[in-house]
Structure formats: C-alpha cells, structure tokens
Amino acid sequence: MTVFPLPATLIEKHVSAALAEDLGDAGDITTLATIGANKQGKAAINARKAGRLAGLDVAAAAFRLVDPGISLTARATDGDILKPGDTLLEVSGPVRAILSAERVALNFLGHLSGIASATSHLVEAIEGTGAKIVCTRKTLPGLRAFQKHAVRCGGGYNHRFGLYDAVMIKDNHIAANGSITNALRAAKKELGHMVKIEIEVDRLDQLEEALKERADVIMLDNMAPDMLREAVTLAKGKAVLEASGNITIETVREVAETGVDVISSGWITHSAPNLDLGLDYLDT
Amino acid sequence: MTVFPLPATLIEKHVSAALAEDLGDAGDITTLATIGANKQGKAAINARKAGRLAGLDVAAAAFRLVDPGISLTARATDGDILKPGDTLLEVSGPVRAILSAERVALNFLGHLSGIASATSHLVEAIEGTGAKIVCTRKTLPGLRAFQKHAVRCGGGYNHRFGLYDAVMIKDNHIAANGSITNALRAAKKELGHMVKIEIEVDRLDQLEEALKERADVIMLDNMAPDMLREAVTLAKGKAVLEASGNITIETVREVAETGVDVISSGWITHSAPNLDLGLDYLDT
Amino acid sequence: MTVFPLPATLIEKHVSAALAEDLGDAGDITTLATIGANKQGKAAINARKAGRLAGLDVAAAAFRLVDPGISLTARATDGDILKPGDTLLEVSGPVRAILSAERVALNFLGHLSGIASATSHLVEAIEGTGAKIVCTRKTLPGLRAFQKHAVRCGGGYNHRFGLYDAVMIKDNHIAANGSITNALRAAKKELGHMVKIEIEVDRLDQLEEALKERADVIMLDNMAPDMLREAVTLAKGKAVLEASGNITIETVREVAETGVDVISSGWITHSAPNLDLGLDYLDT
Amino acid sequence: MTVFPLPATLIEKHVSAALAEDLGDAGDITTLATIGANKQGKAAINARKAGRLAGLDVAAAAFRLVDPGISLTARATDGDILKPGDTLLEVSGPVRAILSAERVALNFLGHLSGIASATSHLVEAIEGTGAKIVCTRKTLPGLRAFQKHAVRCGGGYNHRFGLYDAVMIKDNHIAANGSITNALRAAKKELGHMVKIEIEVDRLDQLEEALKERADVIMLDNMAPDMLREAVTLAKGKAVLEASGNITIETVREVAETGVDVISSGWITHSAPNLDLGLDYLDT
Amino acid sequence: MTVFPLPATLIEKHVSAALAEDLGDAGDITTLATIGANKQGKAAINARKAGRLAGLDVAAAAFRLVDPGISLTARATDGDILKPGDTLLEVSGPVRAILSAERVALNFLGHLSGIASATSHLVEAIEGTGAKIVCTRKTLPGLRAFQKHAVRCGGGYNHRFGLYDAVMIKDNHIAANGSITNALRAAKKELGHMVKIEIEVDRLDQLEEALKERADVIMLDNMAPDMLREAVTLAKGKAVLEASGNITIETVREVAETGVDVISSGWITHSAPNLDLGLDYLDT
Amino acid sequence: MTVFPLPATLIEKHVSAALAEDLGDAGDITTLATIGANKQGKAAINARKAGRLAGLDVAAAAFRLVDPGISLTARATDGDILKPGDTLLEVSGPVRAILSAERVALNFLGHLSGIASATSHLVEAIEGTGAKIVCTRKTLPGLRAFQKHAVRCGGGYNHRFGLYDAVMIKDNHIAANGSITNALRAAKKELGHMVKIEIEVDRLDQLEEALKERADVIMLDNMAPDMLREAVTLAKGKAVLEASGNITIETVREVAETGVDVISSGWITHSAPNLDLGLDYLDT
C-alpha cells in the first residue's frame, strides 16, 4: 500500500488554524522579547522513541507558514519506520520563527505518528493472515482527514470517511425497517450505484439474510472467534467480512486468523498515545 | 475549583465544523435511505466505564445543531464522577437527527471525558499534598480550548493557553541572551505588567539566579525528587515552583510530596485514552 | 425514490453567502428608501411554467435569514410536479424583508427546479426500461450539493459527489498503468473496502478485461446503441453498466432500451435552463 | 469595451472552495491510487465548439492552487472568439495535479464561456443599433461576480451588481409610496449623490411621470415594439431607457431598433448552456 | 433623511468576531471566577456626554450573542440626540453574560456614536444652506458599513461605499488618459448605465471640460471659497458639485454658503473621538 | 522597548478582508476603465505631518496582496519618528494595482500611526518619571491586535489583550463577592498560576485590603494626585500600581510624578486622530 499525500489546501487550512490558536493576537511574546529579529539558527526534529512516521508535510507547513524564509530538509517520509534518534526534518532560518512554530509542528507530528505507530502494531500482529486493519469514524473532531492519513502511514486502510460516502446499516436502521432484508432493499432502492452498502449483524442467521440481499460488506459485531470462523465459512467470497468490537493487540491475530477480510479499530484514532518526538537545536 | 462553561460561540463553531466533517455534501445517506422523516425516538448517552465527565454541553450542541427540534435533558454536569451505566444525556425527537448527530456527540464526549478522567487520576493521586496538576500546550491542534476545559473538569488547572498569554523562557531563550539574568531582564523590560514570567531551569544554581531576578514561576525540568526538595527549600514562598517531565500516575505523588506548587503533564492532553460511552436507544 | 432533505447547516451557509452577495454593505437601498420599516405584506411564489420543484427549503431559508419574523407556509414539497400557476410558498411579514430576500429565493428555486425539470424529462423518457438517470461531476462550482439534490427531485440518482467518494478510472489512469488490468489492480490494492470502483471503456475487449478484474461499475463511453447492446449481453449481472456521452432527450430512450443500468448526463447540471417562477404580492 | 480582470483574491477564494468541494477530505483517490507521484505530463484545454472565452484566469488558478509547480501557458484571452479545436491553455507538470484540477477548471470555464457565448449572440444580433445588452441580478447564487465578468467577455455590459449599488424602483415600491412621483422623491431624498436611480414603468403616462421627476434610468417593462418606439420618442436624451422582458435571440433586434439604450436579459446568466470544452492529454 | 437599519447578518458577523477577539479561548476568566452562574442582575447603558446615537442594535447584539437569555429594552433609537444621563439600553439577566458582553457593546456604541456626533456637528453648522455632508472611503478597515451607517445617524449622507459602486476619476487617472475629456469618455464607454461618474478637478478650466463631457458629479478639490463660488456659477444645475479638502467645523459653513451641493469629510470617519457612554449596574 | 512585528498570518487575514471590503465584486472600476493593464508606475507614501510610524508591514501587505508583482522598498520602520515629508514606503509596478491598494494601505497606516503618535505624546510627557503608559480594552472592534501593536510603536506598553489573558476585578465583581478579600481569594482559588490578578480600588482602605490579599496589580481608579501619592507610599514595592481615569496630555505628568508604575489610557486607542499621510505618484 502506498501512502497518499494529504491535499495541500487541507494542510494549509488546518495548520493556519492551529498556529492562530497558539499565537493569538499577541504572538509568541517570550520569543519576541528575548530573541532578536535577525538571529539565525538550525534545529532538527528527532524521534525519541521507535514508531511509525505520519504528518511530516504537516509539520513542515507549520514552519513555512510562520516564515516562508525558513529552509526545510526532510530526512524521512510519512510511513517510515523510526528508531529513537532518527532525524525527520531539519529546519534552519530565523530562530524566532523556529521557536514560534515548534509546538504546533510537534503537536501534529506526535499525534499523527502516534496513530501510525498504533496502527502498525496491529498490522504487524496480523501479518500473513490476509486481513486488513481499518479505522472507523471514532476520530477526534476536526482532525479526521489527518487521522485517516496517519492510519494509512501505519499500514492500515480507511473505512468510510463520513456519513456521506458509504452506507452502514446498524441495528437501529434495521429495527426501523422491520428486517435486514427491508433495510438493505431500502438502501439499494434509494441510493446511487456508486455507494457501497455495509450492514452490521450480531448473529449468523442475520448474516445469511444479509448475504441473500447481497450486501457488499457485512460487519460481524462483537463475535467470538468461533462464530467469526462460521461466518467466514458461510460468506467467504460472497461479501466482504469486517470484524469489529474490542480489538486489542492481544486479540487481533486470533480474529484475523478466522479468515475475516477486514478488522476495524476505533482505538487507533481515539486513543493512540502520542509518539515522543522533539526539536533539538544545533550549534551553528 | 469550579468548572467554567465553554463560551457558547466556541462550542457552536467547533461542533458545526465537526458536523460538516461527518455529514459532507450528501448527508447521512444511510439514515436518509432507511428511516422516515417523521419517525420519532428516544435515546440516552450512558457511561460504559467509570470516569469523569467533560463536554456535555458540546455533545448537546451536536444534537441541537442537527435539528433544533430535538429535546435534550441533561442528567449530569461536567466534572461529575461517572459510574458505568450512569445516564448523562437524554435525547428525544426525530430519529434521523438523533442518528446523524450521534457520532459527533460521542467523539467529543468520549475524548474530553477521557482527558478529565486521566486528569482526575493524577489529582487524586496527590490529594492532600497541596500541589496542583496543570496541563501544557501539548494539545491536539484545533481542540485546545476544549481540552483545557476538560482538564478543569478533572480537577486540574490550566497553564498558559498559548504563546500569547504568558512568558515561558526555555533553554534556547536563555542561550540567546547569554544568561538567565539577561533573559529575565529582557522579558521584564519588553513586556507589560499583566504578563506572568516563567523560566525553565535544570540546576539549582540556575534556580538561585532566577529567584534573584524575581521570576514569577520557575519550572524545574526533569529533576529527581531529591533535587526538587532542595529546590523547594531554596525557593518556597519566593516563586511558584512547577515540576515537569515524565510525570506518571506512579511517580506523581512522590513529586508532589517534595513540596512543589504545580505539576505539569502533557500526557493528559496528548495521550489520554477515550472514555467509553455509548448511545442507547429506548423503546417508546 | 424518496427526496432527501439537504443538511440544514449546508442550506444556512450557502443562503447566507448568497444574501451577503446581494445585500453587500449598504443593503437593499431601494427598499430602505421607499418602504417603511413597519409596513406588512403578503406574497406567494408561483410557478409560471410546468416543471418539477426543487429547493423550496432553500428559498424559505432566504426569507427566514433576512428576518426570522417572516411567516412561511409551504404549499408544495421538493419533487412535486408543477403546473403553471401553482403556489409553492406563501410569505407574510415586513414588506422590506420580503422584497430584500425575493431575488435570492427565486434564483435558487428557479435554478434548482430547472435541473429537476430537465432531469424529470429524461426520467420520463425512459420509463419502464429499468435504467436510471444519474448526474455527473459537471456541476457549477459551489453549488454541487444543491444540484445533486435537484437531480433527485427530478427522479434521477446521484453519481459520486466528488473525487473523494468513489473511484472512476479513465483513459489517462489506464494509460499510466499500461492496461485496464493493472489500473484496476492498483485501485483495489490501494484503497479501502468501502470504495466502489468504476472504469471507463471504449471497446468491448476493454469491457471484457474490466469484467475479468471485477470492476464494480463499467462506463461505456460514447458507444452506439448496437455496441451498447453487445456490452449488455457480455456483462449483465457481472457489473453495473453506465452509458455516457451526448445523452439528449431524443436519444436517451434508445440508449436505455439497450439494457444498460445507468445513463449519465452532464447536461442536467451544467446546462439546464431556469424554471420560470415568480413572486406575486397579494393585497392585504 | 475592454474585458476587466476579476480581482485575484475573488478568484482564489472561489476556486479554493470549488477544489475543496471536489477533493473533500480524501482527495482524488482514483489518481492517487493509479498514478505515481513523480509522473509528469502535458495537456491542453481545447474548445470543442465555437463560442466566446470567459474564465481563463479562473481555470488557470485551479491548476495552480492544486500544485504551484504546474506550468501554465495561456493561448487565448478572455473575450476571444473561439473556433472548435482552438487551444486555450496548456498545462504541464505532475500528472496527479493535472488530473485532480481538471474538472474544477473545466466546470468554471465551460459555464462562464457559455454565458459569454450567449451574450455575444445577443450583442451580434443588435450590431449597429447603438443599444447595449446588459445582465440582471438573475444569477446563480455565489457566482455573480464571475457571471457578470463573463457577460462583459461576451460584449455585454453589467447592470447593478446587487441591491446595494443602485436603486431600482419596481411596482411594489411604487405602490407603497402611492405614486411614481412619491417613490422617486423618496429615493432622492434618502440616498446619496453617487447612486443612480432607475424606475420600472408599464405605461407611457408612467414614463412621463418618471421623466418629470428626472429618474436617471427608466425600465420599460414588457412593452411591445410600438410602445417602445413611442417611449423613445418621448424620452430620448432625458433618461436612459432600458427594455426588459422576454428578450430572445429572435426578438432582440426588433427591440433594439426601437431606439432604446439598453436591453436586459436574465437568460444569459440563469440559463445559458455550457460551452463544450475539454482537456486533451499530449504525449510527451 | 431616515436612518436605515444595518443588515442583521452584517451585525451578527462583526459582533461575533468582536466577541471572539475579547473572549479568546479561555473566556472572561475574571467573571467566571468571581460571579456565580445563577446570579441575575440589571444594568443600563447611559450617555455620559451629549451627542448623537449610533449602533444601538449592534450593542444589543453583543449581549444577545453572549447569552440569548438576556432581556433587552431599547430606550432610544439610532439617530437620537443624547443628553448626559440619557438611558439608551436596559439589560437584565445573568450577571456573567452582562459583564462579558459589556466592553464589546460599549466599544461599538462609543465609536459609532462618536462618528454620528461629529457628523451632526458639521450638519448643524451648515443648516439652511442646502448642502449635504457626506463621508469618504477614509474609514477604519473592517468597519466601513458600520461607520457609513453612523454617518447617516448624524444626518450625513454616504458617498460611494467602495471602489466597486461608483467611479471617481482622480488626477492619476486623468494623467494616464491625457485629459479630462479622454478619462471621462473612457469611463462612459467601459462601464454600464447604472454607475455614476465623478471626477476631481483643481481648476475652473478643468471644471468646464468636465461639464462639457457631462460628468455626473464634480469634486472641487481644495478650492478656496471664492473659487468654489465661481465654480457654482459655472456649473449649478449641470452637475452635482462636491467640495473636498480640509473641511473643519470652523470652515464648513463658509464652504456650504458657496452653493456647492455636497461637502465631504474624511475626518468624521477616521478621526472622530469616541462618545463617552457607560454601563451602570442597578440594584435589584 | 522593542517594537514586535505583528504575526504575518494576522496581517494577511485582516488586509485581505479590508481589500475585499473596498474592492467588492466589481473591483476598482474607475481604474479598470481608465488605466491600461500594462501601465507601470512608481509612487511613495510620505508623511504630511510629524508623528510616529505604525503599520508599515500592514500597508505593504495591501499592495502585495493586490498584486504580488509590485515591488516595495521600506524607507522607515514601525516606531520611527516622522517629520513632514519623510518617505515611508516606495512602491513600483502596475499602476492599476497601486491605485487599487492605495486607500486600504493608507487607512491602516494613518489610523495606526495616529495611535502611535498619540501614545508617544503621553510617553514623552512623562519622560524620566519611571512610569509606563499602557492601553486598555477600549479598542475598535476587529482591530485590537493592530491597535495594541501601534501603542508599542509609540513607546507604550500593552495591558491585557482581552478578557481571557489576565484578571481584572472591578466593583461589580467585588460587590458580588461581598468584599475585596473574598473576590481576590475566589480568583486565586479558581485560576491557574500563570494568570496575573489586578483589582480596581477607589479608596485607600480598599488598597490596603487588596495589598493584604497580595493582588499582583492594583488599579487606582480616578484618584486625585494627592491620594495617588498616599497610595504609592502605602503600596510601593508590594504591588504594581496603575492609575486610571481621565488621563490627558495636560494631566499625565502630574499623575506620573506621584510615583505610580503604570498609567492607562483608553483615549489612545478609541479616539486618537488619524496621522496625515499620502501617496504621491512619481514620474518615471
């Protein structure tokens, strides 16, 4: 899988907002008061812990938007495996600008690399099984495009981006329609031919009903490995099967080995801890 | 300490953006295709795990902004201690609107309550020591006001909100000025009388220099408990002392018992895991 | 097929912008100078020509956003068939507000109903064939969500909303990959399980190649009816077939009768003429 | 008449919004998945049909905003007469960027050139009569500045841009004031010296009343050619006369030959069909 | 002359921005820390000095946007003459909200009433002469619509609102065209029939040239009263005459008595001092 | 004291908005109609009156944002003392762009330099006393960051920027808490360690109470010089003392000589007159 770059306009919009959040109306008063406008310097962002890189273009944008005169040299690429001490980005130019952009750059980079790292742990845990790790809509408000990008940097795939780009029929939708059959027929009747339709099932008889109505994807919600295996036996090749619910690094391989196609995790976007990274100033 | 409400205009701006992120141009196509416009329903947001509540007004706004006709009944308040099963918010009205707003509401509520819960663990761990837990600028881009609010819901206090509202002199600022003395004098000379000045020190001789120049706050960076105790002996009553660096639930009490005034943690905002909450539909 | 409401926040955002475009900084100077603030009145939006209604909520929002005190009574619903003289919306309240909102309301309503009407002509022309009319990305910048909604009001379906929600592999993508096979494999390998994949073909051998690689949807570009029929024979049931290229009211039925599933038209969104509607003031 | 460039900041704002509408959070997933980041290419936007060019700077901005590294060579200028096959713009650079910007560029260019072409047909039809074709406020929401620019590209002139920049007194304003005389006096008394005042009349006695009160411009609403000629006899040289109502390519010359100064058409902005243009990729 | 209300959407947009500027991310920390959420109170905005009122709706919006639950009673209207002690607006509701909105409300009200007051002094000084006081484009960035409104509240009229709504030909435009005649002909040839054309002249021969070309308005720049009188003799009834340059309360009547139609002042918008107003809390 | 540059992103945001306010949808129609696109020219912004410079970067941004091809040479720096005739900025490039940006550039520059000049008069009047002049929150809505910057250019210091970055306890906050002691304790208990706390007092016994509770800053509201002197005797060295209320150029030195630390003036931001500056075109 390739890592896709984030749209440049998305990066600029969110990094500008983050800089405004940190600089406010008065700016970086510490730096303005203690560092001269002409002082030049050099620094590098280095990994402090092992992990997976995500957000380097975003971090670079933070420096560039504070001062287009800063010069930036990337020493790594999104998706790279990081060892402690690895240099990711070198920056040189006015010290004021470097100091003022530092925290915004690190906040993006540490958070996104944390997600990439968490994802990569799950991906590595299921290596060879053929299953894919995917993210969910359990993302942090305003950061979804960035978090979904980070998941890909960690070797995961993206589920739908929002309520708008694919159908996911859950128990309430089913209940309101009386049956899985009715709910799937309603979705197919109402929506265009470019929309994939997924439905959530808890039991194997529901799975059979969903297969009969040719759902594109079936989410097997919180099923134990044995039931997942039965589901795979029933459905393999007829629909994409997605296992979901309480996926952890300890349980993920067992789930993957049942033969499901896709395993989804909310944890990698809503709870992955920050990856430890820092900016080190270099003597010049 | 009281929990302050977030400014209403901040809530509206961020929740609207989060809804736009989730609904896109096509809206909640699953719900539109499978649920009738007139179907009414009732649901409740319930805690699945124990923790501390933050973001209830934000979650409520998600429902209200999707449909002002939804009726909302708060069953808890930000800052409340939660047990599994506690009901936080009851919503009733058009099922379409409830389903379309659900994820945005839960994404805010789970994230912010996660921060409040993580904060409260540190706060409880140091109970009786007189020290305070504070957050940092290591927040997730675009969410700082919300995260700082959540820290207060967990019993913590806020450090500065950004680069603009207080001075924090770090090693690079000191180096550029030649000495702690020079850096502090520069800050005092340049800035107005309403700005607090903090300086970061690694050693006790630096602490003495900072005290001589009457820094308002001194950050003791990554000092071991013994050195912190010495610092307290030297400085107590002359400046506010802030301990910082690798604070964990295991180490925080030992740090607090050294007598420092304030203990700062980046972890509570950049790495606190989501608190498990869910929306349960009620038969009507 | 049901008509879905547009997200309320989308309506408000675009109608506010349209009002700002028309009112500028000085406001409706004609009305301010010649109509007193207290003058009340009543008016109705009526169809002048036959057609299909789209955009009634949008038109209503124009009046409501200029003055929340205007009272509005809808006499029709999006998707309704209109005869000349039919009343769509009654407004009453301050005359100043009615006059100031009138043009924005009519500009939206006439344009969107024009699209719905044009779509409905194509839909009616192919009645009974089982094919569906769909729109494209050939929309007017900034109005896509509204135009896609209008297509549904006319009985058409939506194709993908943008570059982001489905794959459409065209000749350039194929050329860059060396073959249809390679292009389809690349898309499947790179993208998640919730994304439908369509590919454009000009010849029947390409169609066979696309079927072998299990494209979800195949666009038959500019094929004559005979070739379309052959394509249907080859592919029916194996992939959704979309006919595209120079679809007109004269040719559409012949195309539909070949047995294709979907017929796409750029004309309905980029060139449909305005439906004639007007606001008539009522004596009170 | 010269074609004026659109303000650069207007172009950037609207093209950015159009790109965001098309790219969403995930970007051009087809291109990202099937075209390598380093692949370079070359393409040209060519006219497929005869017409009049409008929007070239806008189309160029679409490519530039997706990737500032794209190189652009204009082969025509807004206002140019186009023959089928004419090249308008050459683009070269990363193929990903060319493909991602293509549709937004063409959507603007085809729409605006459609308006310019429709306008030029009316302008040519009245050549030699001394009358001018002007547009109205019947524009598509959010696109008014662009559409008004396109009218000029087709040889037409602009009427007022909105409710804010000139007075247009219609029947309702007259009715509320009791008479044309009162309405005109109210407008003159209330408004500054830089505002032109137009009034709409249906009959010749109204025209005489409006002339007596020295209206700057008088709109002759839906008058037959004979009545228009009488109006010209009465008013020529005393006020600018504008003919309005159901102007078509068939009727426009007869109207112009009555001697009116200005003929306004809503059709050229709300109903002009798209001009057929396309992007052709060149082997390199 | 009537005072027109500002468009409600303009008020909301600018007052929201002003509140965000004052409240920031943390809100009104003084009030949050010292006043309970439930405390109710009552206050009145009173004039401290004599003057003319402008901006009451804007001030009211500040309170309403902080808390829709505040109740507001207007005791005056824009354009009213104020004596010291006059009550303008009564507010009652949560004390927190009153205190948090107070400064934004007063900042708008004091500034706009300052402009209205300064304008009214000029207007009163020329009473009976038949001349009108008008403002210019010398306004404070971002506040133009509000300042132009305040000028009307003081009895003045508005000149053009921006570069977009009327023509003003100055010396550089004349120089670039070789002569006044050429410049005026260029403007008439290029622009539509709804645009008024003003030209600036320094000498009487220029005035005659401008009259010959039928400029709508002629600005007599920095002419002494004697020359203004000659200009009036030459031009009265043929064009609107505007006197401009160093207008003060001492000189304005002499200028008005020359017979010019309009006198423009930059001072009333760029330099008018604040009108002293205050919020007084009432015991309840 | 050093003059700090304004954050570049703040400048761009506000100057873009100001240009949009002046250019509207139609642009600078006078210049477009009378000046050719290729005409090049040169001009300089010169001081017409003596004063203090503020806003040069902002003025430069106006030209650059209209046309990045304009070349700009600064001949002065913010904070410089200006004599009549001094050149501040030279601009050369397309005449259209120079003319279109001129007014926005001058409106910012004249207003901000007016504030800097007014501030510098107060600063010079108290030279040698050791007191500092500071501004308040009595600023013009939307321009606060720019006005606070201008105050520094005039040699003044900034008070808090908004309600969010420092505490200012006024009579209403005190009344709601029952006493100065209670109010100060509430603020200290509720708020973090990085927030300075100021309290307003009218009498000396209140001052003593505030000192006892260790307020950081005490505002002496509207006290006569004798009482100020007593306050200084009581409080010097224990808290920062701020004199406030009706500060004028005539009274400021007497106040400063009482020994207070800080003197605040609302007048310098809400009422300072524009500094006279102009753009002069140079023959080329």
**Residue in chain F nearest E42 by alpha carbon:** F172
Is C246 or B185 the better-scoring residue by pLDDT? B185
Decide if E104 and F271 are in contact by the 8 Å CB cutoff.
Answer: no
Q: Which of D15, D22, D25 to mutate to test the interface with A (most CBs of A within 10 A)?
A: D25
Task: Quickly state the pLDDT bin for C133 (edges 50, 70, 90).
Answer: very high
The torsion of the CA quartet F70, A14, A123, A240, rounded to 10 degrees, works out to -100
Q: Which of B27, B33, B37 has the CB atom closest to C7's CB atom?
A: B27
**How would you label F8-40 residue by residue, b for 16+ Cβ within 10 Å and e otherwise?**
bbbbeebbbbbbbbbbbbbbbbbbbbbbeeeee
Distance CA E111, CA E270 (A): 11
- pLDDT given for residue E284 in this prediction: 53
Q: How far is the alpha carbon of E129 from chain F, nearest alpha carbon, in Å?
A: 28
Q: How far is the alpha carbon of F64 from chain C, nearest alpha carbon, in Å?
A: 25
Handedness of CA F268, F269, F273, F274 (dihedral sign): positive
Q: Which residue stretches of chain A have pLDDT < 50?
A: none
**Residue in chain B nearest A30 by alpha carbon:** B167
Decide if A8 and D37 are in contact by the 8 Å CB cutoff.
Answer: no
Touching E: which chains, 3+ CB pairs < 8 A?
Answer: A, B, C, D, F
A34 contacts in chain F (CB < 8 Å): none
Q: Which of A2, A160, A193 has the CB atom closest to C194's CB atom?
A: A160
F217 contacts in chain B (CB < 8 Å): 193-194
Report whether pLDDT(B284) > 70: no
**Residue in chain C nearest A167 by alpha carbon:** C194
Residue C236: partners with Cβ closer than 8 Å, 6 or more residues away: C259
Distances (CA, A) of C159 to C148, C228, F120, F152, F175: 9, 20, 65, 57, 64
pLDDT tens track for C61-76: 999 999 999 999 999 9
Q: Which of D9, D137, D149, D158 to mutate to test the interface with F (most CBs of F within 10 A)?
A: D9
Of all residues in chain D, what percent carry a pLDDT higher than 90?
A: 96
D209 catalytic per annotation: no
Has this prediction a pTM greater than 0.90?
A: yes
Residue A7 is given by DSSP the state: P
Q: Which of D2, D189, D195 has the CB atom closest to E196's CB atom?
A: D195
ipTM of model over 0.95: yes
Decide if D24 and A161 are in contact by the 8 Å CB cutoff.
Answer: yes
Touching A: which chains, 3+ CB pairs < 8 A?
Answer: B, C, D, E, F
Decide if C37 and E10 are in contact by the 8 Å CB cutoff.
Answer: no
- pLDDT given for residue D284 in this prediction: 54
Decide if F25 and C25 are in contact by the 8 Å CB cutoff.
Answer: no
F183 contacts in chain E (CB < 8 Å): 34
Cβ-Cβ contacts under 8 Å between C and F: the total is: 3
CB atoms within 10 A of CB F189: 10
pLDDT tens track for D210-226: 999 999 999 999 999 99
The torsion of the CA quartet A126, A127, A128, A134, rounded to 10 degrees, works out to 60
pLDDT tens track for B15-50: 999 999 999 999 999 999 999 999 999 999 999 999
Kindly state the average pLDDT of the residues B244-252: 94
Decide if D9 and F26 are in contact by the 8 Å CB cutoff.
Answer: no
**Residue in chain E nearest F13 by alpha carbon:** E142
Average pLDDT, chain D: 97
A37 contacts in chain F (CB < 8 Å): 5
Decide if D32 and A144 are in contact by the 8 Å CB cutoff.
Answer: no
Decide if C7 and B16 are in contact by the 8 Å CB cutoff.
Answer: no
Annotated catalytic residue: which of E102, E200, E242, E261?
Answer: E200
Q: How far is the alpha carbon of E4 from chain C, nearest alpha carbon, in Å?
A: 6
Decide if F9 and A20 are in contact by the 8 Å CB cutoff.
Answer: yes
**Residue in chain D nearest C282 by alpha carbon:** D172
Decide if A158 and D65 are in contact by the 8 Å CB cutoff.
Answer: no
pLDDT tens track for D142-161: 999 999 999 999 999 999 99
Decide if B166 and F261 are in contact by the 8 Å CB cutoff.
Answer: no
Q: Which of A21, A33, A186 has the CB atom closest to B190's CB atom?
A: A33
- pLDDT given for residue B246 in this prediction: 85
Decide if B32 and C2 are in contact by the 8 Å CB cutoff.
Answer: yes
Q: Which of F7, F148, F158 has the CB atom closest to A23's CB atom?
A: F7
pLDDT tens track for C1-25: 899 999 998 999 999 999 999 999 9
Distance CA E241, CA E219 (A): 6
Q: How far is the alpha carbon of C35 from chain A, nearest alpha carbon, in Å?
A: 43
Q: Which of C4, C162, C165 has the CB atom closest to B32's CB atom?
A: C4
Per the CB < 8 A criterion, the answer to whether D26 and C165 are in contact is yes
- pLDDT given for residue A1 in this prediction: 83
Of all residues in chain F, what percent carry a pLDDT higher than 70?
A: 99
- pLDDT given for residue F284 in this prediction: 53
A162 contacts in chain D (CB < 8 Å): 25
Among A165, A135, A130, smallest CA distance to A150 is for A135
- pLDDT given for residue A242 in this prediction: 98
Interface of F with C (CB under 8 A): 21, 24-25
Distance CA E178, CA E173 (A): 9
Per the CB < 8 A criterion, the answer to whether E180 and E200 are in contact is no
Q: Which of F18, F39, F173 has the CB atom closest to E35's CB atom?
A: F173
Among D283, D257, D280, D281, smallest CA distance to D46 is for D280
Residue F250: partners with Cβ closer than 8 Å, 6 or more residues away: none
pLDDT tens track for E17-32: 999 999 999 999 999 9
Q: How far is the alpha carbon of C144 from chain B, nearest alpha carbon, in Å?
A: 8
pLDDT tens track for C177-228: 999 999 999 999 999 999 999 999 999 999 999 999 999 999 999 999 999 9
Distance CA E86, CA E108 (A): 18
Report the run of H or E that residue E71 belongs to, with start and end.
strand E71-74
- pLDDT given for residue C284 in this prediction: 54
pLDDT tens track for A97-144: 999 999 999 999 999 999 999 999 999 999 999 999 999 999 999 999
A25 contacts in chain F (CB < 8 Å): 10, 144-145, 148, 161-162
- For chain B, the straight-line distance linking the first and the last C-alpha, in angstroms and rounded, comes to 40
Cβ-Cβ contacts under 8 Å between D and E: the total is: 72
Distance CA F145, CA A27 (A): 10
C24 contacts in chain F (CB < 8 Å): 24
Tokens describing residue C213? 């690689």
Distance CA C184, CA F182 (A): 72
Please give the positions of F annotated as active site.
103, 138, 170, 200, 221
Touching F: which chains, 3+ CB pairs < 8 A?
Answer: A, B, C, D, E
